[in-house]
Amino acid sequence: MKFGLFNLMTYRDNPGGLPGLLSDMRSLVGLAEDIGFETAWFAEHHFTNYSISVSPLMFAAHMAGTTRRIKLGAAVVVLPLYHPMRVAQEIALVDQMSDGRFVLGVGTGYQAYEFERFGMNVAEKNEIFFEYWSVLEQILTEGRAQFSGRYVTVPESVVLLRTRKAAMPDLYVTSMDPRILSRLARHNATPFLTAGFRGTAALLDMVAGARARWSEAGLGADMPVAVQQYIHVTDSPQEALEAAERARYVGRLVAAFRSPHVVLDGAFAEALPIPGEPSLETIRDNLLIGDPHQVAERLVDEIRRIGPVHYNAFFQFGDMPIARARRSLERFGAEVLPLVERALGPLDLIGKPMDGLPAAARAAAV
């Protein structure tokens, strides 16, 4: 199992404005690389303060010049919002620019507000995804494409620019839909799951439900998964509640954009209370927020119960002040990870097929 750093880049009250938010991202990615995280992930959203990461490919290309070891991932390319011929070439280019460190995440998207402004219908996202994927897959695996469909037509085309391996990059997907997972199965796509500010209990239910659906669809109940969680390491009860409030802010924005009628003040979405939303104390307890021993204990429990191949950590959520986000990430590397490894043993064995593993590793991965 490897760790990732998630970069959503919500703009709320950053004292440095938009340049400050970009500087914060660079700072955290550099720190994550120093700690030994495997991947820095960049989201994709458009037009509003929910996220200024409008292009994960541009962010990955930018960070390719300032990092050396950490992989750079799109979490995710919202495929229906692109022409597949163009995005396939850009994926190959960023993979070349990063010396083969690019990791591809794809998804269908969910925000009707974004789709409408690109002149698209979110209700057709899956059908668009399948057609665009057919083109993208051909380009990345064969260097050529030909396709005729309802949403895109591509004449016989040969493309010069390929990835370093002239093959599909490591692939992740944010859909739990068995049809999409079946379509991407030949590339060993790993589904990414997150429960947002609902935290551990909701995430465990989500993973269990997804695995049951995948099993029924013939995909196998032991399909590898990647998960994402909010993490904040602090000894201060007040800072813990403030972190919970920042997580709630992001959760409110997610709920707003799932609504058909998002309320905006210019480009700023109003983070209105969600009916029945939990208290800050409950949100704090739902998430991995607390001192190093509390965070490590919760993390170990999740890993044992899920056995993920990748654990994506969200540290600067809700425009968290960078000093706090950095301190949390530093303490995670220095204090939390040693406790996790002491409890579980080598993390590289977590999430791997059980056959042939030592008994201790099998126990840790269950």
Residue 231: per-residue pLDDT: 98
Place of tokens 């995430």: 203
Token pair listed for 178: 């068995």
Read off φ and ψ for residue 355, nearest 5 degrees.
Answer: -60, 130
This prediction has a pTM of 0.95
Q: Are 270 and 249 in contact (CB under 8 A)?
A: no
Residue 261: per-residue pLDDT: 87
Closest to 14 in 3D by CA, of 280, 314, 313, 246:
246
**222 pLDDT tier (thresholds 50, 70, 90):** confident
Token pair listed for 70: 């950490």
Instruction: State how far the Cα of 225 lies from the Cα of 185, in Å rounded to an integer.
Output: 13
Least confident range from 157-161, 237-241, 357-361: namely 357-361
Q: Which domain holds residue 175?
A: 2-364
Task: Please state the separation of Cα 319 from the chain's center in Å.
Answer: 17
DSSP letters along 191-242, please? EEEE-GGGHHHHHHHHHHHHHHHHHHTTS-TT---EEEEEEEE-S-HHHHHH
Taking only the tens place, the pLDDT of each residue in 105-133 is 999 999 999 999 999 999 999 999 999 99
Q: Where are the alpha helices (DSSP H) in the chain?
A: 17-35, 56-64, 84-97, 112-117, 125-142, 178-184, 199-216, 237-258, 280-286, 292-306, 322-331, 337-344, 359-364
Residue 204: per-residue pLDDT: 98
Residue 265: per-residue pLDDT: 97
Give the type of residue at 112: A
Closest to 226 in 3D by CA, of 54, 71, 23, 343:
71
What is the domain-level CATH number for residue 31? Answer: 3.20.20.30
Residue 315: per-residue pLDDT: 98
Residue 349: per-residue pLDDT: 85
Compute how many other C-beta atoms are within 10 angstroms of the C-beta atom of residue 160.
7
Rg from Cα positions in the chain: 20
Q: Count structural domains, the chain.
A: 1
Per-residue pLDDT at 332 exceeds 60: yes
| Across 334-342, average pLDDT | 97
Instruction: State how far the Cα of 291 lies from the Cα of 235, in Å rounded to an integer.
Output: 5
Taking only the tens place, the pLDDT of each residue in 149-197 is 999 999 999 999 999 999 999 999 999 999 999 999 999 999 999 999 9
